[in-house]
Amino acid sequence: MIISFFNYLEFEKRYSSHTLDAYKSDIEQFTSFLQYNFQVDSLVDVTSAQVRSWMVSLKEQNISNRSINRKLSALKTLFNFLRSRHGLAQNPLRKIISPKTEKRLPLTVRKEHLERMFLINNQNAGDTSYILLRNDLVLDMLYSCGLRRSELMQLSLKDLDLDRRLCRVLGKGKKERWVPLSANLVDKILTYLIFRHQTLIDLAKPEHFYLFMTDQCEPLYPKWVYNLVKKNLSLVSSVERRSPHILRHSFATHLSDAGADLHVIKTLLGHSSLAATQVYMHNSIEKLKKIYDQAHPKS
């Protein structure tokens, strides 16, 4: 049953490898808990009381409510699948109430800080080396296109339509979207492609499927992208988290601050639901409140 469940997530729901790994970890933790504490080996025999007991044990381990909710989400998906595909009589998660969590607004980097980061990179890129041009372009595409890290890593040469200034992006669930490229970004890409091609020749490497490569012309990997973003953001910002996703948050927030339509932002981000995009509107509202409190005589 578990094997068929993960086949369903991977091939029908098209979940990412990252999500699949998280689901596997959460479900393995739950089944191990059942076996150790209740000697339950079959998911058919799971009760709501046992799920609640597991939640209590997670709290005792100082697991945050947000993480507990993520684990419960994995279990809900599993038991819904077992009901629909394997005839499970009752879903033990049906009466489980998820613990409350505080709504967290996305962290962003101020526009002037990002402008300074790109200014520093462009000054360095004056030496025109493959590495400097690539690093600058990776950062620019994460921010200017609002890409997820995994989306950036998957970009291929065939995804670029530079004549129309468009980039094809394969998002979550293998959903495809087209993101516009600025004229400045197209110029950067064209320059980068020249140095990319020469680097492949210099290292005697065959043509590469991916747009971006490591120094040795291998595919990028998650930690590489994270380290690059963290290093560069650390030069210009004291924001708490300095991950690639911060640049995506900044992309959406800055569009919202400038008055972009929420449906347009949703399309550019590749969100399936408008609710996921509305959080960026909250960021703009909080900014308006702050300005009001500072400026209005009756605030």
pTM of the predicted structure, to 2 decimals:
0.72
pLDDT tens-place string over residues 86-137: 888 889 998 899 998 876 667 889 999 999 999 888 776 555 789 999 999 9
Answer whether 229's CB lies under 8 Å from 244's CB.
yes
247 falls in which pLDDT band (50, 70, 90)? very high
Of the candidates 146, 178, 137, the one whose C-alpha atom is nearest the C-alpha of residue 160 is 178
pLDDT tens-place string over residues 35-87: 999 999 889 999 999 999 999 999 999 999 999 999 999 999 999 999 999 88
208 falls in which pLDDT band (50, 70, 90)? confident
Answer whether 23's CB lies under 8 Å from 6's CB.
yes
Helices and strands (H and E) in the chain: how many: 12, 3
Q: Which two tokens stand for residue 210?
A: 């991916």
Q: Report d(CA 137, CA 20) in Å as an integer.
A: 30
Q: Which residue has the tokens 């509305």?
A: 278
Answer whether 250's CB lies under 8 Å from 242's CB.
no
Q: In what order do the strands lie in the sheet with 166-170?
A: 160-161, 166-170, 176-180
- DSSP summary character for residue 170: E
Answer whether 210's CB lies under 8 Å from 69's CB.
no
All domains of the chain in start order, with CATH: 2-86 (1.10.150), 111-293 (1.10.443.10)
227 falls in which pLDDT band (50, 70, 90)? very high
Strands (E), 65-183: 160-161, 166-170, 176-180
Q: SS3 for 213?
A: strand
283 falls in which pLDDT band (50, 70, 90)? low
Active centre residues (catalytic) = 148, 172, 245, 248, 271, 280
291 falls in which pLDDT band (50, 70, 90)? low
Q: Report d(CA 142, CA 127) in Å as an integer.
A: 23
